[in-house]
Chains A and B, each alone.
Chain A
Amino acid sequence: MNLPVRFIKVGEALSPTPVLEKGEGAALVYLHGLLGQEWNGLLDGLAQSHHVYAPAHVGSDEPEELHSLDGIYDLILYYDELFDRLGLEKIDLVGHSFGGMVAAEIAAAYPARVNKLVLIDPLGLWRDDAPVEDHLLVPPERQIALLLGDPGRADVKARMALPEGSEEKIQELVRRVTTMASTAHFLWPIPERGLAKRLHRIKAETLIVWGADDRLVPSSYVQDFANGLAKSKVVIVPGAGHTPQFDQPDVVSEAILNFL
């Protein structure tokens, strides 16, 4: 991942946030999901026509710093400040999973900031008749199956492979733990913080992308998002799970680029 990284300082208590950047054009911010910051094929696709900013979720490196952010409200303010520090005013906002929940919350809190909104298998709503699965207190294989796909698949294995060197391996294992901790801080025990009552505030035209076989957030949530949003389109990605841009990168890139 030899991309330029900018480190942006927001607030006294937090270490600078690494933001990956690529491309030229209108500003697009991508908020990653539960497996942490990465640059992937989808972002390469988006960077062909946009200036893509992909920040790491706050606290991904040191979750203890999250004591200065008490909940989703503080997190939304944090992002407002981060966007200011990046010199961004109006943006296109793309969020996946946990990042999708945060993107929706930002768009609801600051409707004027967001041009177009893309939510890929977002968290943030809850139905008693179809509970979102638990990804935290589960065995590693189940976690991978929920978030990425069958752990036996070659591409899943390659994505989750650990580095060779023992020091690199430890650093990567620590990174996975701290990344998971940093989202659990805002999600546990139920990944819902009242987004349903704020969805109507979102002014941005919204694309909802959903893996047809999402095992974490069943696709029955698509309709709840669509019903709550003023202007939305839905794309269901066949043969894809909770991370459709991993299973079907071309399909997802194309759908988003067409929408933008």
Chain B
Amino acid sequence: MKTVWFHMQGYRDLPDDFHKRYESVWVTPPNDELCHSDQVAKYLRWNAQELELADDLGFDGLGLNEHHQNGYGFPVSPNLMASILARRDSDAALVILGNTLPLYNPPLRVAEEFAWLDCISNGRVVAGFPVGSPPDTVGCYGIPPTQVRPRYYEAHDLIKAAWTKPGPFPFNGKFTKLRYVNLWPKPVQRPHPPIWLAGGGSVETWKFATDNDYTYSYLSFNGHLAAKGMMDSYWQQVEKAGLDDNPYRAGFAQLVVVADTDAQAEKLYLKHLQNFYAKSMHIPPHHIAIPGFMTKKSTEFNLRKGASSFARALGDPYEATWKHFTDTTRMVIGGSPATVATQLEEAVRNLRVGHLMVILQIQSMDHELTEYNTRLFAEKVLPRMRQIWDKEGYVDHWWPSGATRNQGAAQKEAAE
């Protein structure tokens, strides 16, 4: 299995009564009250150092994403941080998950920047193509909800054509019209970097993944028990499409906290977990369930299910105990290295995922604690993770060809 050290790049010092004073962590948290640039200067250096540390410690990949006007993460263009990491001599993958295609105008910019990153990193780029969340696309970037998916599909077609067809050629889309598409440079990886989809579990995206033979990552913060139904539906779609059950078709994000003992982990991390669910997940339904973002079919489906994607059965996170997070709900995997490794393997096998995005910097965790968590994970948990799926002989067809670290026997054989 591939383990990706994934950085959310959020604001680590939100006030403790944040969720009582403000409507949302996303779109509208007032910048002058909450986001201080001198603090951000410090965080961005920490973020880079933490990702570089993960690179040095042997994680298979470094994970970045894109969000806007968001206290839980504001990596406005993940390509900026990716370019810092791409310059290093490394064999780790740069999992950029990804560029929110509907937000780029023209989306040719995404084709160019991913290609450029792929060149400077020597083929280590994963090109993530998320549709984007309602808060980012509709809330922050002002796209009419009914236009998000049409823009996404058109941008996808343009980028793929730009990477694979000889230029110059014309592109006549509804949203983008270009007389001369002629990318300088094209990516190092041919025909193009592996494309990963990511999302919150929409049926349309699964279908798009299987139609194109892309891998899909479910970015949830609620753990594998809550994700099970969703991921089972994804695998049903894979089966329906007549594709194999290679676990590398799926990815999953998981909050993980490690310490020497279970008791020590509770002591070190409980406060940060509470902060994460109280502050980072403080997103009201009206920023998520925006009319027109989902199809009528999906809207009806969700109403019948009685579900909302960010439903929080948690109650007041500050009342939630360590046991609640790590045992009752398994939203978080935490404890001693042995506990964490066992539970992670269980989660990974339960959901059948080959790409595990571990989130080891959580909300208010400072640099020192993040480093501790990362080192302990790398030393004591990571080696066990690598063996998963390896003896079954699965090959990751969605891993960048320039990211050669930690290849299992099957992968090596396939590469040769």
Binding site for B on A (CB under 8 A): 59, 61-64, 66-67, 70, 136-140, 170, 173-174, 176-182, 184-190
Contact = CB atoms under 8 A, between A and B. Distances in A.
B296 A184 contact: no
A197 B142 CA distance: 23
Interface residues of B, number: 23
Contacts of A139: 284, 286
Ranked nearest first, the 4 interchain pairs of A and B with the lowest CB-CB distance are A181-B292, A189-B142, A180-B291, A181-B291
Contacts, number: 75
9 contacts: A137-B287, A170-B303, A174-B300, A177-B292, A182-B292, A185-B144, A188-B138, A188-B144, A189-B143
Question: Is the contact region of chain A dominated by helix, strand, or loop, or is it mixed?
Answer: helix
Interface of B: 27, 138-139, 142-147, 150, 174, 284, 286-287, 290-292, 295-296, 299-300, 303-304
B146 A185 contact: yes
A59 B146 CA distance: 11
Contacts of A138: 286
* Most interface-central of A176, A180, A185, A188 (chain B CB within 10 A): A188
A73 to B, nearest CB: 14
A212 to B, nearest CB: 28
Contacts of B150: 67
Contact of B304 (A140, A170, A180, A182): A170
A79 B27 CA distance: 35
B292 A63 contact: yes
A174 B291 CA distance: 10
B201 to A, nearest CB: 18
A179 B145 CA distance: 13
A184 B146 contact: yes
A173 B144 contact: no
A184 B145 contact: yes
A189 to B, nearest CB: 4
A174 B292 contact: no
A73 B284 CA distance: 34
Given A137-B286, A137-B290, A188 B299 contact: no
Contacts of A136: 138, 290-291
Given A70-B174, A138-B286, A188-B145, A64 B295 contact: yes
A205 B292 CA distance: 36
Given A137-B139, A140-B286, A181 B146 contact: yes
A216 to B, nearest CB: 16
Contacts of B286: 137-140
Given A136-B290, A137-B287, A178 B299 contact: yes
Given A138-B286, A139-B284, A178 B146 contact: no
* Most interface-central of B27, B144, B150 (chain A CB within 10 A): B144
